[in-house]
């Protein structure tokens, strides 16, 4: 099922839409009419104005509405205006109920437009990274929309390159939100070498004299890269014990 079918199946969901103040008084961007099945639909913005039911800062969203208080949180052309997106994402997750859903539409390529400020542009991976599995969140989809071309005197447009005006994200809260944001760095940090881990544990049981002798032994061996790594580990252990790099 798609996003609309899934949230409709919740049954009279309580929905919060972010950034609903009209930038043009004559044009409403409120999406309420597309969700007639909502049990309650609340529009919020950092400033009072037309289409704003509750004034709230997304950086402290749960303080205004309470934790786990909405089934669905929507954001349309708003995330590019949020100053601290990681903090905002954390607050959104806290305000969402377990089993609830988030849908975000923001820009990948767009002209500067300050309402009142314009901070960021996003890729699919960038949006997904704000709602990682480490925060008990599951990504159902991230996609680009509205193909566009970028033209510049310095870098001519190359046919076949891809650019898009918008990027969409859909995610689901699978468990309670941790108090602090837990970054999903597993893909960026290589798994520790078992041999290095074992060596580090072994040298912790040696006294300082034994450490110095072992380091000298490695220095006398053929200068291979792995020996240099062990010498560094021994030196780090000595510095940690002495608290003074000039003594080792």
Per-domain residue ranges of the chain: 3-173, 194-247
pTM comes to 0.74
Closest CA to 83 of 19, 164, 165: 19
Cβ atoms of 92 and 58 within 8 Å: the answer is: yes
Q: Which residue has the higher pLDDT, 197 or 150?
A: 150
**What is the rounded CA–CA span in Å between residue 189 and residue 112?**
35
What mean pLDDT, rounded, does the chain reach?
Answer: 89
pLDDT tens column, 164-215: 999 999 999 999 999 999 998 865 556 667 777 788 888 888 998 888 888 8
Residue 111: how many CB atoms within 10 A of its CB? 6
pLDDT single digits (tens) 71-84: 999 999 999 999 99
- Confidence band of 219 (pLDDT split at 50, 70, 90): confident
Looking at the domain covering 3-173, what would its CATH class be?
alpha beta
For helices 225-242 and 194-203, the axis angle rounded to 10 degrees is: 40
Instruction: Give the chain's largest Cα–Cα span.
Output: 80
Min mean pLDDT across 5-9, 49-53, 176-180, 205-209 is at: 205-209
* More reliable by pLDDT, 173 or 240: 173
Q: Work out the average pLDDT over 217-224.
A: 69
* Share of residues in the chain with pLDDT > 90 (%): 62
For the segment 103-111, the average pLDDT, to the nearest whole number, is: 95
SS3 content of the chain, % helix, strand, coil (to 5): 35, 25, 40
Which residues make Cβ contacts (< 8 Å) with residue 85, sequence separation at least 6? 79, 120, 130
């Amino acid at each position: 099922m798609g996003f609309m079918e899934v949230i409709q199946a919740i049954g009279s969901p309580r929905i919060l839409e972010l950034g609903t103040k009209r930038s043009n008084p004559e044009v409403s961007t409120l999406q309420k009419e597309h969700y007639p099945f909502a049990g309650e639909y609340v529009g919020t913005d950092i400033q009072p104005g037309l289409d704003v039911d509750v004034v709230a800062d997304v950086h402290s969203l749960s303080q205004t509405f309470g934790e786990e208080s909405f089934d669905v949180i929507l954001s349309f052309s708003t995330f590019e205006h949020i100053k601290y997106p990681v903090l905002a994402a954390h607050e959104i997750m806290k305000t969402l109920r377990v089993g609830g859903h988030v849908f975000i539409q923001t820009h990948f390529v767009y002209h500067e437009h300050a309402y009142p400020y314009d901070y960021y542009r996003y890729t699919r991976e960038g949006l997904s990274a704000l709602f990682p599995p480490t925060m008990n969140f599951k990504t159902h989809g991230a996609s680009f929309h509205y193909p566009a071309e970028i033209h510049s005197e310095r870098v001519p447009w190359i046919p076949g390159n891809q650019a898009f005006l918008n990027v969409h994200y859909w995610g689901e809260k699978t468990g309670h939100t941790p108090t602090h944001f837990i970054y999903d760095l597993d893909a960026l940090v290589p798994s520790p070498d078992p041999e290095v881990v074992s060596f580090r544990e072994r040298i912790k049981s040696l006294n300082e004299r034994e450490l110095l002798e072992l380091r000298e032994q490695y220095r006398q061996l053929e200068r291979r890269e792995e020996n240099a790594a062990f010498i560094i580990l021994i030196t780090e252990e000595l510095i940690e014990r002495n608290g003074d790099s000039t003594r080792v």
